[in-house]
Amino acid sequence: MAERMVYLDYNATTPLRPEVKELMIQAMDVYANASSMHEAGRKAKAEIEKARAAVAALIDAGDPSTVFFTSGGSESNNTVFMTMYAVAKTGSRKKIITTAIEHPCVLNSATHLKEEGLDVVFLPVDDVGKIDMDVYRRELTDDTLLVSIMTANNEIGTIQDIELITKMAKAKGAYVHSDAVQAAGKIPVSVQEWGVDYLTLSCHKIYGPKGVGALYVRKGAPIEPLIRGGHQERGVRAGTYNNLGIIGFGKAAELAFAEVDEYGRNVRRLRNILRDDIVERIPYVRINGHPTDVLPNTLDVSFPGAEGESILLSLDLEGIEVSTGSACASGSLEPSHVLMATGVGPELAHGSIRFSLGKYTTEEDVRYVVEKLPPIIARLRRMSTVSPEEAVGLTRR
């Protein structure tokens, strides 16, 4: 039995906040179909609209009617890409620009449209995960239909300059979409300041329930339903409303909006302690991602000479729950596409761990990790056939 349990996988998902859970328990009695005209239906509808306003406030949308509820980030992203496919079929613009480090639901959606005949460009990134602005500027042409670039990367935490990216795209008349699933609640998000046309959110990343997300659509931007049927969400997303999930989303968004600055300060301090102690106590490590333009809770570290899945399982035995930079745990032997895109070789990519801290992380948790991690890395390196010094592209930060 481990001495303590330390959850450091908040970028994968977050626990349900007690305040959200309490409201959802109360909302179990809000059972009526929000599309019904009777009193119970109107009550359900009112709760949904209250939640919509809270989600709109989280992203500085201004008008709550620009927020549409979905089942999550993947559905929201797919909706945008299939909308662009519909627009491209009747228009002259056929080009979509995205990046090599997007979430798989964006990469796979973009690849699907490429197979359907659209011109899709996957922008390269530099060694800290920032897009190559020279390539971006060159690829922005008059036939560009959509630019889709995530606000912050889920693995290495690098934050892109969405406002500048949008400004450049708008000068060419293109639509702009940003997947802000990892950013919302961790850093301030403003669709009005950034000027994006579409923005994706997911509730379970901000201490709310799973199975509910949102898509922001700027007034006047085209939108085609991915799920057709009834009139729900003004025809954009059919299906009976998920009352419980949406109400929980509203509460989670309200709390995230109120606490975003405090949250950032707290987790950044703990992240920095973890980073500095790892660098001090373990030789030959590489910190992945941008040193400053990075999510305050995210720390991705490569440990050359130690395999990522072995590190993860060894930490798990000590009660420490993290993610690996390798996709081995999901049944693939391929290293992280994000790390590979930043120029990290397969050896380092396979030896990478993502520590993602959250609201309930304590300094004692961080100290416990730093106590348990060095002997694990030392043991695994002794078993390895490749020394850390021999790893390709190794840098020590």
Cα separation, 202 vs 69, in Å, equals: 10
Which tokens hold the place of 297? Answer: 């809770």
Q: What is the DSSP letter of 326?
A: B
Best CA proximity match to 236, nearest among 225, 220, 222, 221: 225
**Tokens representing residue 206 in the block:** 């901000």
Helices (H), the chain: 18-27, 39-58, 73-90, 104-115, 133-139, 162-170, 191-194, 243-281, 308-317, 337-341, 346-350, 363-383
| Residue ranges of the chain with per-residue pLDDT less than 50 | 326-329, 392, 394-397
**Rounded to whole angstroms, how far apart are CA atoms 277 and 371?**
10
Identify the active-site residue in 328, 340, 370, 386.
Answer: 328
Residue 311's pLDDT is: 96
Whether 105 is a known active-site residue: answer no
At 331 the pLDDT is: 53
pLDDT for res 332: 58
Do residues 211 and 72 lie in contact, with contact meaning Cβ atoms separated by under 8 Å? yes
**In this structure, how many other beta carbons lie within 10 angstroms of the beta carbon of residue 217?**
25
Q: How far apart are CA 176 and CA 12, in angstroms?
A: 25
SS3 annotation, 130-185: CECHHHHHHHCCCCEEEEECCCECCCCCEECCHHHHHHHHHCCCCEEEEECCCCEC
Residue 315 burial class via C-beta count within 10 angstroms: exposed 0-12, middle 13-18, buried 19 and up: buried
Would you give the DSSP letter of residue 329?
Answer: G
Q: Which two tokens stand for residue 328?
A: 């081995």
Position 350 scores a pLDDT of 87
Q: Looking at residue 327, what is its pLDDT?
A: 46
**Residues of the chain with pLDDT > 70: what percent?**
95
Residue 72 contacts residue 58 (beta carbons within 8 Å): no
Residue partners of 95: CB distance under 8 A and separation at least 6? 118, 119, 120, 121, 139, 141, 143, 144, 145
What distance in Å separates the CA atoms of residue 2 and residue 317, rounded to the nearest whole number? 7
pLDDT of residue 2: 82
Q: Over the chain, what is the mean pLDDT?
A: 94
The CA distances from residue 97 to 31, 181, 194, in Å, are 43, 19, 18
Could you tell me if 96 and 120 are in contact, meaning their C-beta atoms sit under 8 angstroms apart? yes
Angle between the 243-281 and 363-383 helix axes, to the nearest 10 degrees?
A: 60
Asked if 87 and 222 touch (Cβ cutoff 8 Å), the reply is yes
Q: What is the C-alpha separation between 79 and 299, in angstroms, rounded?
A: 31
What single letter denotes the amino acid at residue 177? Answer: H
* C-alpha to C-alpha distance for 367 and 166, rounded to whole angstroms: 41
Residue partners of 143: CB distance under 8 A and separation at least 6:
92, 93, 94, 95, 119
Rounded to two decimals, the pTM is 0.95
Query: What was the pLDDT predicted at 149?
Result: 98
Residue type, 206: I
Cβ–Cβ under 8 Å, residues 45 and 30:
no
> Tokens at residue 16, please?
């349900």
